[in-house]
A and B are shown apart, each in its own frame.
Chain A
Amino acid sequence: MLVVLQNAGAERAGRWLVRGVDLAIAPGEIVTLVGPNGSGKSTTAKLALGVMTPDEGSVRRRAGLAIGYVPQKLAIDWTLPLSVKRFMGLTARLSDAAIGEALEATGVRHLLGEEMATLSGGEFQRVLLARAMARKPDLLVLDEPVQGVDFSGEIRLYELIGEIRDRLQCGILMISHDLHVVMAATDRVLCLNGHVCCSGTPTAVAASEGYKALFGGRAEPMLAVYEHHHDHVHLADGRVRHSDGTVTDHCHREDGHHRGDHPHDPAHSHSHSPAHSPAHSPAHAHGQPHGHGETGREDSDA
């Protein structure tokens, strides 16, 4: 085990931020934390990292554990002249090749010489992820790693996180910024609400009573799990290449090129509900259609 939390809890000024967390992460395992705002997701991650010490219970990390961390918030002051390249080597000496490779993987190699303070939100997140993975960590802790990334980029980054796990065989603790969207490669989901409300495989958590109780009657269709079966690719010029090899100008389901892609079952209707907006990052507050997201942009929904 890379890190083991046993009945761990943390308080601040007499208020428990989170209590009774049991969590163990093994090499090659992806654990995702979901839960509403203030449910203790970041606190749990900080306990696992050793940034916070538990006020009850215990946290044990394997000796000599190399950690890569993508914090939820990272403000780079304008007074700090920090290029992407310099930022990549912030906590470890990396070769130019390793830096280039990591930036290439997250699709931002061209930003190497830019200043961190000038990056857009999505670019910034990609650089953060590249930096954390370039350290070749044993444990990767990602606090809302895809916030501010556009939707097709979000899928790509989720895929990349799965690839990182396969390649480095590292354990990954991820906090989902969207409480009902969990990547398919996740081995275990922990649903938090000040305590562990339920845990298990993504599908088991979605079906559990605790999850339904936490998110109300509408919870049932809520846990959308990314299942990646792309049957078409959006090309750079706006056209669409389908699995049968044809290229069309648009992406209609009825055109006969799609095979069972994005079924519009009730599980996807939630994303237009404003009731959950406060829990979303601003990028999603306007109801980005998550549910049918396997393909990202497509126009058959309207």
Chain B
Amino acid sequence: MLDDFFVRALLAGIGVALIAGPLGCFIVWRRLAYFGDTLSHSALLGVSLALLMDINVTLAVFAVSAAVALLMLGLQRRSAVSGDTLLGLLSHSALALGLVVLAFLTWVRIDLMGLLFGDILAVSKIDLGVIWLGGAAVLAVLAAIWRPLFAATVNHELALAEGMAPARADLVFMLLLAGAIAIAMKITGVLLITALLIIPAAAARRFASGPEGMAVLAALIGAASVAAGLFGSLQWDTPSGPSIVVAAMMLFAVGASPLAAGFRAARKTGAQER
């Protein structure tokens, strides 16, 4: 079954969506969308460096993303520079730097489109193993830090005062995000990772009654987007990464439509009757 490239693509995409959903919820709650963009753009720099030094691409992407995340964490704490400007500076610098370094690597043949937009149909069995094992590790750690991380998301000072060690939770979350980006890069490409983080979470918000429920729902919506996007891609011969994002966007639109409003009203009445 795994010999079929389409099945591998489906499993890989669903695996990535299951990681991206819960992490994406925190991105949405904490207004870190641009931050996620910056991290994923820096992934391209990681790829360039990996090719330059002939090391494992996933590890290099994780290292560069983690370094950028920690850099931003440090700069945001220390300086009064607008976080927005800082992110824009780092985001595009990392992307441009990655592209420039790639151009120097004349001896490697690079599928630039694959790096930018993903090459989900070229997923190997090893990639699948990395996604599912790595993803399980990311989700396990996220579950372990969930309480302090969520408390810090509601209010950092409150969490700090009441002994939840929010700084440590923030740090671990950044590393998880870098890890997720390293895992997901092959599937969606550096330009579309943030979409898989944010759109399912945003779509889940309208149906969720609690943070944990929203995380689960975001994972499911992401998985549905992957399935719909891949089948659409097969059907109409469209690029797979962008097709997944378009599918996610359509699910979001359905959630925002009057149809969904009726569903929510019905659920609310049901809850009151109970």
A binding-site residues for B, Cβ under 8 Å: 13, 46, 49-51, 66-69, 71, 74, 76-77, 79-83, 86-87, 90-92, 113, 135, 141
Do the beta carbons of B157 and A90 come within 8 Å of each other? no
**Set A46, A69, A76: member contacting B154, Cβ < 8 A:** A76
Q: CA separation between A69 and B154, bound complex, in Å?
A: 13
CB-based contact B153/A50 at 8 Å: no
Does B160 lie within 8 Å of A51, measured CB to CB?
Answer: yes
Given contacts A76-B154, A90-B151, contact A81 B162 (CB under 8 A): no
B211 located at the interface, meaning its Cβ lies under 8 Å from any Cβ of chain A in the complex = yes
In the complex with contacts A74-B155, A81-B208, A83-B209, A90-B161 CB distance below 8 A: no
Question: Interface 1/0s, chain B 16-44, versus A by CB < 8 A?
Answer: 00000000000011010000000000000
Tell me the dominant secondary structure on chain A's binding face: loop
Tell me the nearest residue of chain A to B80, going by C-beta. A13
Nearest 3 pairs of A and B residues by beta carbon: A49-B161, A69-B161, A91-B162
A205 to B65, CA, bound (A): 56
The reply on B158 being an interface residue by CB < 8 A is yes
Contact B151 A86 (CB under 8 A): no
The complex places the Cα of A228 from the Cα of B268 at a distance, in Å, of: 43
Of the A-B pairs whose beta carbons lie under 8 Å apart in the complex, a sample of 6, sorted by A's number, is A49-B160, A68-B162, A71-B155, A71-B157, A87-B154, A90-B151
Docked-complex contact A91 and B205, CB < 8 angstroms? no
Q: Do A135 and B162 contact each other (CB < 8 Å), given the known contacts A77-B31, A81-B205, A82-B211? A: yes
CB-CB under 8 A for A86 and B155, given A69-B161, A79-B205, A91-B162: no
Encode B140-171 as 1/0 by CB contact (under 8 A) with A: 00000001001101110111111110000000
Q: How far is the CA of A66 from the CA of B161 in the complex (A)?
A: 9
For A81, the closest partner residue in chain B by CB is B208
Other A-B pairs, 14, CB within 8 Å; known A71-B155, A91-B151, A135-B162:
A49-B160, A50-B160, A51-B157, A67-B161, A68-B162, A71-B158, A74-B154, A77-B29, A79-B28, A80-B29, A86-B210, A87-B154, A90-B158, A141-B161
Alpha-carbon separation in the docked complex, A17 to B194 (Å):
40
B128 on the interface (CB 8 Å rule)?
no
Measured between beta carbons, the chain B residues less than 8 angstroms from A67 are: 161-163
Q: Does B123 contact A (CB under 8 A)?
A: no
- Name B99-134 residues within 8 Å CB distance of A: none
Chain A residues closer than 8 Å to B205, beta-carbon distance:
79, 81
- Known contacts A74-B155, A87-B154: A69-B162 contact under CB 8 Å: yes
Residues of B in contact (CB 8 Å), total 27
Per the bound structure, the CA–CA distance linking A76 and B164 in Å amounts to 19
Q: Report A-chain residues with C-beta under 8 Å of the C-beta of B162.
A: 67-69, 91-92, 135
Chain B residues with CB below 8 A from A79, complex form? 28-29, 202, 205
Chain A residues whose CB sits within 8 angstroms of the CB of B213 once the complex forms: 81
Which chain B positions have C-beta within 8 A of A141? 161
Residues of B within 8 A of A77 (CB): 29, 31
Asked whether, in the complex, the Cβ of B160 is within 8 Å of the Cβ of A82, the reply is: no
Is B214 in contact with chain A by the CB < 8 A criterion? yes
Q: Please judge, given known A-B contacts A67-B162, A91-B162, A91-B164, whether A80 and B153 are in contact too, CB under 8 Å.
A: yes
Instruction: Determine which residue in B153, B158, B208 has the highest number of CB atoms from chain A within 10 A of its CB, and name it.
Output: B158
- Is B266 an interface residue when CB atoms closer than 8 A count as contact? no
A83 proximity list for chain B (CB < 8 A): 209-210
Q: Shortest Cβ distance from B149 into chain A, in angstroms?
A: 12
CA distance A92 to B148 in the complex (A): 10
User: Which chain B positions have C-beta within 8 A of A113?
Assistant: 271
Query: Of B31, B147, B158, B271, which contacts A69 at CB under 8 A?
Result: B158
**A290→B214 CA distance, assembly (Å):** 44
Which of B154, B155, B161, B271 contacts A50 (CB under 8 A)? Answer: B161
Cβ of B82 to closest chain A Cβ, rounded Å: 16
CA distance A141 to B157 in the complex (A): 12
Shortest CB distance B71–A (Å): 22
Complex CA gap A141/B151 in Å reads 18
Cβ of B267 to closest chain A Cβ, rounded Å: 12
Complex: A91 Cα to B163 Cα, angstroms: 8
Complex Cα distance, B162 from A141, in Å, reads 11
Residue among B154, B159, B213 with most chain A CB within 10 A: B154
